[in-house]
Structure 1
Amino acid sequence: MTSTSMTHQRVWIGVDVGTSMAKAAAFDVSGELLAVASRPVPLSHPGQARVEQDPEVIVGSVQAVLAEVCAAVGNHRPELVALTGQGDGCWLFDASGVPVRTAISWMDGRAASILAEWEENGTSDAMFAENGNIMFPGAPAPILAWLDRNEPEVLDRAATAGYIKDLLLQRFTGVRATDATDASLPFGSLTAGEDYSAEVLRLTGLTHRAGLLAPIQLPLPSGTLTVGGAGATTLVPGTPILAAPYDIPACVIGSGMLEPGDGLLIAGTTLACSVLTDEVDLSGPKAGMTITMPQPDRWLRVMAAMVGTASLDWALKILDVPFSSLNALLEDTAPGSNGVEVLPFLAPSGERAPFVDPAARAQFTGLSLTSTRGDMIRALCEGLAYSARSCFEAAGLTGDVYICGGGSRSIAWMQIFASVLGRPVFLAKEGEVGARGAILAAAEAIGAPLDAEIWTGPHRVVEPDATAVKLYAAGYDRFGRHLSAAKALWMR
């Protein structure tokens, strides 16, 4: 846990439950980070292409980080606690918020065969036409369909098939609800997040399971902390608890991105590339997600690629390179990586943006006996940047690009992104961007808006290198040709 001296009595707390870490962060009225605490939330792999998480472990981790943060700020009662976290996957729990099975992660691939059926019979295209969302194996719809075929008794025991922050809200407050951002995928209707699409439920064969979907509460689900929900948090019962937008739109809000056409890259476990829009246009590529934002007439076109820092972490581990050496390694290797090129599709469940293919796999090409670790690492970083560019092009980027996430700590990698994208990149204000955005959205929802201008804003701008821009334009063309050739060889 880290903290600063506590001089303000008014405190806002954001909770962000990611794929590998649960965090709580406390801020003062000016958006300064007062304290942050974190706990790991492990993944389990119970079978091939299967990835699960224990919800009770996560609940315990959230209680622990809330207690730590409360202690760090002098146990002042927060104005509110805003919840955000990972989207997708399937979190099944009963009417009391008690899980009925381990959660199936968004990284899970067991539903790939169902997805293949939907793609072959036209279901996937029909769903995209309805709400602008393309499915992938870890999306709730194919997972629910798999469970309906293979574990129907589990669904029978459940009251809700929701998301991690839905489970936390119910445990803390007793309120069963979800917000418009999480409801958007996969059963959303694009009607300002007011209802689910009966057509998508019909297409997926899940109409008989519609009762598992939590009511959508606008502008955000909210309740007050119950005595039983407080548990080990040390929070005072009666504290306002809100389920804010899930992590991708929360980071959009927390980065300060406001203008339609602007984009946000979350350089995290995956590369989530989002573009804000004031109209829904589904005439482009059938890819990605369309997320209803809390603000009126605002949507996100999201291309959440499976590639990201998980791919980089894998390569650093294999090549025995610490992350602390990444900047130096990138700076010592010339753009173009001395001919080494990478298709970075290392996720076991394939890729989901800007195309969906569970069989997608990585390739390193151009290697020789003279290739170095620096060549391989830089080539992977360049390949990841090319993937981000392809995602932004599919999402309709026309404006500025903001970046947040753990990968943004490497300025040398951010330089590669700027040069591949051919535009400056604005690094979001440091300090728990997702939790920051969740608090801003929650405060707005209860009619006590905070000053977003001072809570957000970039802390650094990284300009593209003119020489590298030209080299990467050619490299991006080769990336596309490599990808087209590789698709035919992926094992299915």
Structure 2
Amino acid sequence: MLYIGIDLGTSSVKILLMEGDGTVKKIVSREYPLSFPKPGWSEQNPSDWYTQTMDGLKELLQEADKSQVAGISFGGQMHGLVILDKEDNVIRPAILWNDGRTTEECDYLNHTIGTDKLSEYTANIAFAGFTAPKLLWLSKHEPDNFAKIDKIMLPKDYLAYRLTGVHATDVSDASGMLLLDVKNRKWSQEMCDICHISIEQLPELFESYEAIGTLKADVAAELGVSTQVKVAAGAGDNAAAAVATGTVGEGKCNISLGTSGTIFISSDKFRVDDNNALHAFCGANGKYHLMGCMLSAASCNKWWMDEIIGSKDYAKEQEQITKLGENHVFYLPYLMGERSPYNNPDARAAFIGMTMDTTRADMTQAVLEGVAFALRDSFEIAKALGIPLERTKICGGGAKSPLWRTIVANVLGIPVDILETEEGPSLGGAMLAAVACGEYASVEEAASKIVHVIDTVEPTVELTEKYEQCYTKFTKIYPALKEIFPDIK
């Protein structure tokens, strides 16, 4: 049978066709516009997602045996606010995850309601990108639109609704709304009250691998497939990517060195750290995960190379780096503020430790190491919760650098596994569809049979010890600069 995974991203949708054994047959993508109506705002028209997805699906299936298509599922950009009226029409453009208009609402939630209450209700605290602060902003600034709301949805779930007619979401994506009681996998009545909404306005909750319905007749006819094609709930992009990397099961870890950086840690039981430095979310496998998200990862190196050095030859610049663990220059990777573990939008990037003999290579090395050290900040918090972190997988554009992989392995002091296939949320979505259709008994079984490691970077005792000393110094820099950041933004 054939399974389709749809990765609804911020700038484009990536659609993947997978055979039951995990073989990827075809991938297509379609772009759509991103709107910035005011400084710090970020919006999209949900109808563009549907139009471009349907167009991409038609190309994906052009040469396929359409009778073999059994299931569809998703990975998707998280936190976005999509609101529908009683006729299921979109009321206003979606407010996206990277929209920064909710500073006042986050301050209200974290300081007036209190982080202790938020953690009790949702296992998390408020971040500017989350959905609940967007609802508070809407109720204050667009009360007429707020009054029209009949259903509150997330981006990928709007797409699922257009395909099935069902208002649904999955618990992993819902975890990032600040409306879900993560521990008990149900909507939080307390958070609904705080946001002046009802549970009836929220979609029905499913596990990521559960079917929410089948294709509507008109959609199936347009695509030329059966109306029996199952549509599974899917997952938020990071949870779907974790499925695609086999990061399911106690202590499994994956690091993504993309534009932003994430460290994703799967847990069989619910855990939350005392300071809510890590996101505590439901997992796509029916369990849980912790996630540390840094806002600038590979984008730090891109900024340094493109804007400062003025070179596109990333590999050549890294060839000059030969003395790992001995750099006297340090770099804080907070170009866009920071999320995990500090939740500080005022944080800024900084170099420190330069002397007259500092070289260009030292600065480049500091950027790579600074990102690795910042990832370790989240790694240490997870370790303190008792999760057995013995190795990690790595993915994303930055992970293509052998040097950066070596730095990460030795900064964390664990082996770093490299995957045969790296297709991210689209592959994870297809795998979830396969589970929903009974191709695999569980997400764990699908991951064990489809995901393959082809190489491993092993840390060395000598270099790990050197980086241990470097990391100790790194941890002192942010606290020393923290009070300065608000004055220089």
Map of 1:292 onto structure 2: 282
Pick the aligned partner of 1:317 from 291, 303, 306: 306
Pick the aligned partner of 2:472 from 466, 477, 481: 477
How is 1:357-436 mapped onto 2 (pairs within 5 angstroms)? 357-367=344-354, 371-396=358-383, 397-399=387-389, 400-436=391-427
Map of 2:197 onto structure 1: 208
Q: Give me the identity figure in percent.
A: 27
Deviation larger for 313-322 or 413-422: 313-322
Map of 1:460 onto structure 2: 455
**2:234 paired with 1:244:** yes
Map of 2:52 onto structure 1: 61
**Contact kept? 1:35, 1:72, Cα under 8 Å:** no
Deviation larger for 363-372 or 207-216: 363-372
TM-score normalized with structure 2 length: 0.89
* AA of the residue aligned to 1:214: P
Measured in 1, the distance between the counterparts of 2:197 and 2:471 equals 46
Map of 1:444 onto structure 2: 435
Measured in 2, the distance between the counterparts of 1:255 and 1:124 equals 32
Map of 2:20 onto structure 1: 29
Residue 221 of structure 1: CA displacement?
4.8
Alpha-carbon displacement from aligned partner over 1:136-163 (angstroms, at most 9, x marks no partner) = 1010111111111111222223332221
Residue 72 of structure 1: CA displacement?
4.7
Measured in 2, the distance between the counterparts of 1:58 and 1:123 equals 36
**Contact kept? 2:330, 2:370, Cα under 8 Å:** yes
**2:316 paired with 1:328:** yes
Measured in 1, the distance between the counterparts of 2:462 and 2:223 equals 53
Pick the aligned partner of 1:103 from 94, 100, 108: 94
Residue 58 of structure 1: CA displacement?
2.4
Distance verdict in 2 for CA 1:157–1:317, change over 3 Å: farther
Measured in 1, the distance between the counterparts of 2:358 and 2:48 equals 44
* Secondary structure of the structure 1 residue equivalent to 2:61: helix
Map of 1:487 onto structure 2: 482
Measured in 1, the distance between the counterparts of 2:17 and 2:51 equals 19
Deviation larger for 135-144 or 223-232: 223-232
**Contact kept? 1:93, 1:159, Cα under 8 Å:** yes
Measured in 1, the distance between the counterparts of 2:168 and 2:469 equals 48
Distance verdict in 2 for CA 1:268–1:280, change over 3 Å: same
Alpha-carbon displacement from aligned partner over 1:378-397 (angstroms, at most 9, x marks no partner) = 32221111111111222335
**Contact kept? 1:14, 1:436, Cα under 8 Å:** yes
**Contact kept? 1:244, 1:250, Cα under 8 Å:** yes
Residue 356 of structure 1: CA displacement?
1.0
* AA of the residue aligned to 1:365: I
Pick the aligned partner of 2:243 from 225, 248, 253: 253
**2:154 paired with 1:154:** no
**Contact kept? 2:263, 2:292, Cα under 8 Å:** yes
Map of 2:42 onto structure 1: 51
**Contact kept? 2:34, 2:42, Cα under 8 Å:** yes
Work out the number of aligned pairs and report it: 476
Residue 238 of structure 1: CA displacement?
4.1
Q: What is the RMSD of the two structures over their aligned residues, measured on CA atoms?
A: 2.5
* Secondary structure of the structure 2 residue equivalent to 1:470: helix
Pick the aligned partner of 1:126 from 109, 112, 117: 117
**Contact kept? 2:110, 2:118, Cα under 8 Å:** no
Residue 405 of structure 1: CA displacement?
2.4
Map of 1:4 onto structure 2: none
Residue 225 of structure 1: CA displacement?
1.7
* Secondary structure of the structure 1 residue equivalent to 2:152: strand
Residue 285 of structure 1: CA displacement?
3.1
The runs of 5 or more residues in structure 2 that have no matched partner are none
Alpha-carbon displacement from aligned partner over 1:58-102 (angstroms, at most 9, x marks no partner) = 222222322222125355541211111111132223456543222
Map of 2:296 onto structure 1: 307
TM-score normalized with structure 1 length: 0.89
Distance verdict in 2 for CA 1:145–1:38, change over 3 Å: same
**Contact kept? 1:91, 1:162, Cα under 8 Å:** yes
Map of 1:6 onto structure 2: none
Map of 1:5 onto structure 2: none
Measured in 1, the distance between the counterparts of 2:58 and 2:416 equals 36
Measured in 1, the distance between the counterparts of 2:458 and 2:63 equals 38
Measured in 1, the distance between the counterparts of 2:355 and 2:56 equals 48
**Contact kept? 1:34, 1:73, Cα under 8 Å:** no
How is 1:122-271 mapped onto 2 (pairs within 5 angstroms)? 122-185=113-176, 186-193=178-185, 195-202=186-193, 205-218=194-207, 220-229=210-219, 235-271=225-261
Measured in 2, the distance between the counterparts of 1:231 and 1:417 equals 49
Residue 170 of structure 1: CA displacement?
0.6
Deviation larger for 338-347 or 449-458: 449-458
* Secondary structure of the structure 2 residue equivalent to 1:34: strand
Deviation larger for 462-471 or 356-365: 462-471
* Secondary structure of the structure 2 residue equivalent to 1:79: strand
Map of 1:7 onto structure 2: none
Residue 362 of structure 1: CA displacement?
1.2
* Secondary structure of the structure 2 residue equivalent to 1:329: helix
Pick the aligned partner of 1:16 from 7, 10, 23: 7
Distance verdict in 2 for CA 1:217–1:280, change over 3 Å: closer
* AA of the residue aligned to 1:208: I
Measured in 1, the distance between the counterparts of 2:212 and 2:249 equals 28
Measured in 1, the distance between the counterparts of 2:338 and 2:68 equals 43
Measured in 2, the distance between the counterparts of 1:299 and 1:163 equals 20
Measured in 2, the distance between the counterparts of 1:208 and 1:108 equals 21
**2:329 paired with 1:340:** yes
* AA of the residue aligned to 2:256: I
**Contact kept? 1:223, 1:240, Cα under 8 Å:** yes
**Contact kept? 2:215, 2:228, Cα under 8 Å:** yes
Distance verdict in 2 for CA 1:62–1:96, change over 3 Å: farther
Residue 251 of structure 1: CA displacement?
1.8
Residue 336 of structure 1: CA displacement?
5.2
Measured in 1, the distance between the counterparts of 2:51 and 2:311 equals 31
Map of 1:278 onto structure 2: 268
* Secondary structure of the structure 2 residue equivalent to 1:47: coil
Measured in 2, the distance between the counterparts of 1:138 and 1:387 equals 20
